[in-house]
Amino acid sequence: MDSKLINDFLGTLSKGKNIVLSIDLDNTLVNRKKGDNYIPEETVEIIKLLRQEPGIYLIPNTGRDIIGFGSFVKENIDFSDAVLGSGSLIKIASWVIAELTREPLLIVPL
């Protein structure tokens, strides 16, 4: 993957600001049909390129616990930070927001 393509895309989004990308693991980044921690090599390369970009912060987001996430890090990419157990938090947060605003919540995966 061309780093210029990534720079152009992120430049359009950021307009000089920092960007935090929260990456869901299971059945999004990780292809569970090919293994508990399988990530296509092209995706790994894109993540490596993104991690080199100033102002770009990648944070894995998963329902896994610390042991399950540790397994992912050991087999793939070492992330120092992550959101763990997030599935339950998203469900609760979306329900609370919907109740408070009386508006449906739209979650758009990237």
Q: What is the pLDDT of residues 5-17, one digit of tens each?
A: 766 776 666 676 7
Per-residue confidence (pLDDT) for residue 1, from 0 to 100: 53
Per-residue confidence (pLDDT) for residue 108, from 0 to 100: 47
Q: How many CA atoms lie within 13 A of 18 on its CB side?
A: 5
Per-residue confidence (pLDDT) for residue 110, from 0 to 100: 45
- Neighbouring residues of 90: CB distance < 8 A, sequence distance ≥ 6: 107
Percent of the chain with pLDDT over 90: 1
Strand stretches in the chain, DSSP E: 19-24, 56-61
Q: Closest Cα to residue 22, out of 54, 59, 52?
A: 59
Is a pLDDT exceeding 50 seen at residue 90? Answer: yes
What is the DSSP-derived secondary structure letter of residue 96?
H
**pTM of the predicted model over 0.85:** no
- Residue 64 phi/psi, 5-degree rounding, is -65, 155
* Digit-coded pLDDT (tens) for 19-56: 788 888 888 888 888 988 899 998 888 888 888 887 78
